[in-house]
Chains A and B, each alone.
Chain A
Amino acid sequence: MTHLQVNGQTRKVDVPDDMPLLWALRDELGMTGTKFGCGISVCGACMVHIDGQPVRACVTPVSAAAGREISTIEGMEADRIGQVVQQAWAENNVAQCGYCQAGQIMTAVSLLKTTPAPTEQQINDAMSGNICRCGTYPRIRAAIEQAAGSLVSGGRQ
């Protein structure tokens, strides 16, 4: 039995230690907001935060996540920056199919937590691990810039 701290709650899963967190979240805990896109750490669809760091759940064994703070897209509404980012995403009508967007938002939130006013280069560097096959990149950029702007005007974290 592994204990996982997900969005502030302790959840128990009975899975092999090497099962990636992605499948523990999705199949065992029913938290399907975190998406499967590639399974090998190259698309960003499965992005979560562990102890505040952006991490790809598809290549993170549950054993490595146990006992640490895991945040997923389902927890972002309760997160100040998460909320601002989600709002910017909606206002910019970013999503097309939307499948990649949970991962995009998780990466963007983590960027804005460490870099509240990112440069264009910093946005590119942070976001280039997240693929959007529908091609929403221009709007993602706009949403990040808007979120950064409102975080700056809304004061510091």
Chain B
Amino acid sequence: MTATVRLSRRAFLQGSLGVLTLAVTSSGLVSAARAADAEAPKYGADSMPGGTVDDPLVFVSIAEDGTVTIVAHRAEMGTGVRTSLPMVVADEMEALWERVEVVQAEADEGRYGNQNVDGSRSVRHFLMPMRRVGAAARQMLEAAAAARWSVPVSEVRAVQHEVLHEPSGRRLGFGELAADAARQPVPTADALKLKAREDFRYIGKDKVRLVDLEAIGKGEAVYGMDMRLPGMVYAVVARPPVVGGKLRKFDGSKALTVPGVLKLVEIPAFQGAPAFQPLGGIAVVARNTWAAIQGRDALEIEWDDGPNGSYDSVAYRQELEAASRVPGKLMRDQGNVAEAWAKAPEAERLAAEYYIPHLAHASMEPPVATVRIEDGRAEVWTSVQNPAAAQAAVARRLKLEPGKVKVKVLLLGGGFGRKSKPDFVDEAAIVAQAMPEGTPVKLVWTREDDIHHDYLHTVSIERLEAVIDGSGQVQSWLHRSASPTIASLFVEGAKGQQITESAMSAINMPYVIPNVRVETAEVAAHARIGWFRSVANIPHAFAAQCFIAELAHRAGKDHRQFALELIGPARRIDPGMMADTWNYTESPERYPYDTGRLRGVIEAACEGAGWGRELPEGHGLGLAFCYSFMSYTATVVEVKVDASGEVQVVAVDMALDCGPQIKPERIRAQMEGGAIMGLSLALASEISFENGRVRQSNFHDYEVLRHQASPRVIRTHLVNDDHELPPGGVGEPPVPPVAPALCNAIFAATGKRVRSLPVRTVA
């Protein structure tokens, strides 16, 4: 048997036999930001629940055979984070990747730091903590070797799973040193020696294969949907078709006669704002998923639709349009937009309105959770972005201490923001509570459930008004958003975008324009509004980026040239100067708005696409760009529009500057996937309501891009791999510029301006 040197305080306290442990006096390392004055504002990771943890005792253990086990504390939903962050640790500690095992952490933010895989934060917040974890582990191994040989630690160094003493040529493997290393003190923050960039073996290179790659190809990877336990029962829920609706009465007698159906469980409807609470309804519990679905079909239910029963997307669009044409709540004000507009001759004014409907996330794995309650404890197996939120929801439901709820995180079959909301885990807990003690319940959402009851991307009208003078200078810019807010999820009746939405490409625009005004219309929400990959950047960037192309056209200038002039020279802007006091929670000093980097991605995308080249008949190139989640992106789309108005995407060039590039191959994968998701929403996807109900139900009417419509060519251009810069996000930033680039390309090809998504065909 291999004795594992578990660098863990818990094991030390347990004093387990055969486990060599480390006598630690400090609780590990304190990140610089956390050590800072407690009165200072908290930014970034430090403002998140759990903050960051960079204690090697928590993340690394080494077995006597040299196997290094590294904890992946964040859930994998397709970005590659389960590989990237452990890879960073391995690199810093000089562990050979072939001898690394990755284990997935349960929900425990006290132990691991923040675990919410949301907001493109994983590498942004944990690159440096994971580097410190790896460096600390390496230095402990080096100190152990130096002590063993009685040589100064300065004479030894860790190299590829061994520590060398160069003067004598002696060497010891990590496994041989594990026990001694565990007895070394954890280096203090100022004693840590991080690797120089040229010494990286894995960071910034594509040598490491994804940990789940082979298992996925063989069908062996285990997703939340794949959870199985002895005696498990399956549940599906009939939910109110209208948000806020309630059960009036139901007859379950037929459902109970369906073979395999075991029980019906009423799910209480939420009180107050929806938040992450279940919608309510009736759960059908059965011996297998099919029986549960059949049982649900046999339920006879009368619903009380409540106040949202008249929600209708056609009428609501008119409401948004009307709201966008009158003054709204002020978000940013500079100069005097009203005066500039009033004074400008008609010929110098330009106004346009842009529409994007609700969107559903539609991850390929619908929401699913398995819960078992026994002996005053609950165990949860699920695929969620935010395990701590799932833990809190179940603990609240079952009136347990969070510590009595174990949340085991399985692979996510996609997330895109949907799976950060644990309503489905709460539902599973309600059903498990109604079953005999110890019965594992797997609660499955069908695709219809997912489309009908998603936390939808908002629906929006964005109105832009500009004054552009005879020399093509933009003198005034008004951006007014009319769009139900995410805040309505948490505060009943909340209206108008919050700074967290407006600071996603509405207020924080850096253009050299003397008069700027950004407003939000206070419109009510009639659906659950959630966050969808890149969130409010989607409608804001769509509108602003199309509008800039329209202004360039009006000025008779090349779009690229016009945009670069509008952005102005390279400079670092304090977000506060643009009324952005949020800045994705990051420090304005660390993360200013850098127009030089924005210019850089525009140039890279245009160069990749051959901007300005001669194009075949019916083809057009369109450009758009965006700053989001601390990264800079630009997209150039080439389209071909045929005589019938059919749009074909020929090629997409995606440029991204996310600062240091940790796993470039996965960054490119996110850029490719972002291009496809952006094209999906631009060309195909729409959720609409009638009588308060979502009209679409599955992939036949909620369409997403398929192979056929997918572009032949997606070129990715990574710009500015600079480890002096703080890391930016990668998962979300590729999405926002895609739809406007497409519409700008359609205009270039046809002279027709599309201001409403999805495009479908060009009339």
1/0 contact string of A80-109 vs chain B (CB within 8 Å): 000000100110010111111110010000
Q: Is the CB of A135 within 8 A of B214?
A: no
Q: Is the CB of B259 within 8 A of A90?
A: no
Residue of B nearest to A27 (CB): B288
Q: Is the CB of A130 within 8 A of B288?
A: no
Q: Is the CB of A124 within 8 A of B707?
A: yes
In the complex, chain B residues whose CB is within 8 Å of the CB of A113? none
1/0 contact string of B267-292 vs chain A (CB within 8 Å): 00000000000000000000011100
Q: Is the CB of B699 within 8 A of A72?
A: no
Minimum CB–CB distance from B50 to chain A (whole Å) comes to: 24
A19 within 8 A of B: yes
- Bound form: Cα–Cα A74–B221 in Å: 11
Q: Is the CB of B412 within 8 A of A33?
A: no
Residue of A nearest to B699 (CB): A42
Q: Is the CB of B675 within 8 A of A135?
A: yes
In-complex Cβ contact of B225 among A32, A77, A125, A141 (8 A): A32
- Bound form: Cα–Cα A125–B708 in Å: 7
Contacts A42-B698, A96-B79, A99-B413: A133 and B219 contacting too (C-beta < 8 A)?
A: no
In-complex Cβ contact of B290 among A19, A33, A43, A141 (8 A): A19
- Bound form: Cα–Cα A34–B446 in Å: 15
B677 within 8 A of A: yes
A53 within 8 A of B: no
In the complex, chain A residues whose CB is within 8 Å of the CB of B290? 15, 19-20, 23, 27
Residue of B nearest to A38 (CB): B447
Q: Is the CB of B447 within 8 A of A32?
A: no
Q: Is the CB of B288 within 8 A of A98?
A: no
- Bound form: Cα–Cα A120–B708 in Å: 10
1/0 contact string of B676-691 vs chain A (CB within 8 Å): 1100100000000000
Q: Is the CB of B708 within 8 A of A135?
A: no
In-complex Cβ contact of A86 among B77, B217, B223, B260 (8 A): B217
B472 within 8 A of A: no
- Bound form: Cα–Cα A134–B734 in Å: 12
Q: Which of B656-693 contact A (CB under 8 A)?
A: 665, 669-670, 672-677, 680
A60 within 8 A of B: no
Contacts A76-B218, A128-B708: A95 and B672 contacting too (C-beta < 8 A)?
A: no
- Bound form: Cα–Cα A20–B366 in Å: 18
Q: Is the CB of A96 within 8 A of B364?
A: no
Q: Is the CB of B210 within 8 A of A102?
A: no
Q: Is the CB of A134 within 8 A of B447?
A: no
Q: Is the CB of B364 within 8 A of A45?
A: yes
**How many A residues face the partner with a CB closer than 8 A?**
58
- Interface band, chain B: 35 or more
Q: Is the CB of B226 within 8 A of A101?
A: no
In-complex Cβ contact of B365 among A34, A35, A124, A131 (8 A): A35
In-complex Cβ contact of B217 among A45, A89, A136, A138 (8 A): A89
Minimum CB–CB distance from A2 to chain B (whole Å) comes to: 13
- Bound form: Cα–Cα A137–B364 in Å: 14
B706 within 8 A of A: yes
Q: Is the CB of A40 within 8 A of B700?
A: yes
Q: Is the CB of A131 within 8 A of B677?
A: no
Minimum CB–CB distance from A115 to chain B (whole Å) comes to: 15
Q: Which of B79-136 contact A (CB under 8 A)?
A: 79-80
Residue of B nearest to A45 (CB): B364
Minimum CB–CB distance from A34 to chain B (whole Å) comes to: 7
Q: Is the CB of A98 within 8 A of B214?
A: no
B153 within 8 A of A: no
Q: Which of B306-347 contact A (CB under 8 A)?
A: none
In the complex, chain B residues whose CB is within 8 Å of the CB of A141? 707
Q: Is the CB of B672 within 8 A of A43?
A: no
Q: Which of A31-49 contact B (CB under 8 A)?
A: 32-40, 42-43, 45
In the complex, chain A residues whose CB is within 8 Å of the CB of B704? 131, 133
B35 within 8 A of A: no
Contacts A23-B288, A99-B413: A137 and B226 contacting too (C-beta < 8 A)?
A: no
Q: Is the CB of A101 within 8 A of B217?
A: yes
Minimum CB–CB distance from A47 to chain B (whole Å) comes to: 11
Q: Which of A133-150 contact B (CB under 8 A)?
A: 133-141
Minimum CB–CB distance from A48 to chain B (whole Å) comes to: 11
B78 within 8 A of A: yes
Contacts A40-B700, A133-B704: A96 and B288 contacting too (C-beta < 8 A)?
A: no
Q: Is the CB of A99 within 8 A of B707?
A: no
**What are 10 residue pairs bridging A and B, where the CB atoms are less than 8 Å apart in the complex?**
A27-B234, A30-B228, A36-B225, A72-B219, A86-B217, A96-B414, A99-B363, A131-B699, A133-B704, A136-B672
Given contacts A32-B225, A38-B699, A135-B676, 9 further A-B contacts (CB under 8 A): A27-B234, A38-B447, A93-B665, A96-B80, A99-B411, A101-B217, A124-B707, A133-B362, A139-B672
Chain B residues packing against A (C-beta within 8 Å): 76-80, 209-210, 212-214, 216-223, 225-226, 228, 234, 259-260, 288-290, 293, 362-366, 411-416, 444, 446-448, 665, 669-670, 672-677, 680, 698-700, 704-708, 710-714
